[in-house]
């Protein structure tokens, strides 16, 4: 007898699922997150490799950003995250400045070649990973305060941005799979 297997469609908005905030960040989770951040530049580069201008200007889902805007968003978001980690390391629980991601995605430079942000991410992540690999257990617990989302440790922020990396690369690779690119 053949059993029916439930096939679940992947949510195009959250292709790797939503971020699940653990109660405590373990050293193993920190190392895995650092590895994900280290791998992002190569994975992102492969994800957009060979795409035409028209393909890069295709939204990854209905109502979503274009792939080009998505690549620039990753750079914008991760630059902010890197600065926030540095602030948390050098100030006592700083309140971080949020930014309007949607508005940033419509600024004129969002039409720039995607490769510019891929290169930026490559260098940014090299520095970010170098910094994270140097942290002591005490430093991983240093925090920052988001005015809307509340407190966040460096450890939790690192997990969040590792997820963010996988999340957006999956947007690109899933679109390529759907379109046969």
Give CA–CA dist 121/115, Å, rounded: 10
Give the single-character DSSP code of 60. S
- b/e 135-174 (16+ beta carbons within 10 angstroms → b): beeebbebbbeeeeeeebbbbbbbbbbbbbbbbbbbbbbb
Model pLDDT, residue 12: 86
- Tell me what pLDDT residue 7 has: 46
Highest CATH level, class, for 27-179: mainly alpha
Per-residue pLDDT, 128: 98
Q: What is the full per-residue pLDDT of the chain (181 aa) written as tens digits?
A: 555 555 456 788 999 999 999 999 999 999 999 999 999 999 999 999 999 999 999 999 999 999 999 999 999 999 999 999 999 999 999 999 999 999 999 999 999 999 999 999 999 999 999 999 999 999 999 999 999 989 999 999 999 999 999 999 999 999 999 999 9
């Amino acid at each position: 007898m053949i059993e029916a297997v439930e096939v679940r469609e992947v949510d195009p908005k959250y292709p790797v699922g939503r971020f699940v905030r653990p109660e405590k960040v373990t050293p193993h989770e920190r190392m895995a997150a650092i590895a994900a951040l280290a791998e992002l530049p190569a994975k992102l580069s492969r994800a957009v490799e060979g795409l035409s201008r028209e393909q890069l200007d295709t939204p990854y889902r209905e109502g979503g950003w274009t792939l080009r805007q998505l690549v620039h968003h990753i750079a914008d978001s991760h630059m902010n995250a890197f600065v926030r980690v540095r602030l948390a390391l050098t100030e006592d629980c700083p309140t971080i400045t949020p930014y309007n991601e949607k508005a940033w995605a419509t600024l004129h430079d969002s039409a720039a070649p995607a490769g510019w942000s891929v290169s930026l991410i490559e260098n940014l992540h090299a520095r970010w990973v170098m910094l994270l690999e140097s942290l002591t257990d005490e430093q991983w617990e240093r925090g920052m305060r988001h005015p809307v989302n509340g407190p966040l440790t460096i450890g939790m922020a690192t997990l969040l941005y590792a997820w963010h990396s996988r999340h957006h690369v999956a947007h690109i690779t899933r679109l390529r799979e759907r379109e046969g690119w």
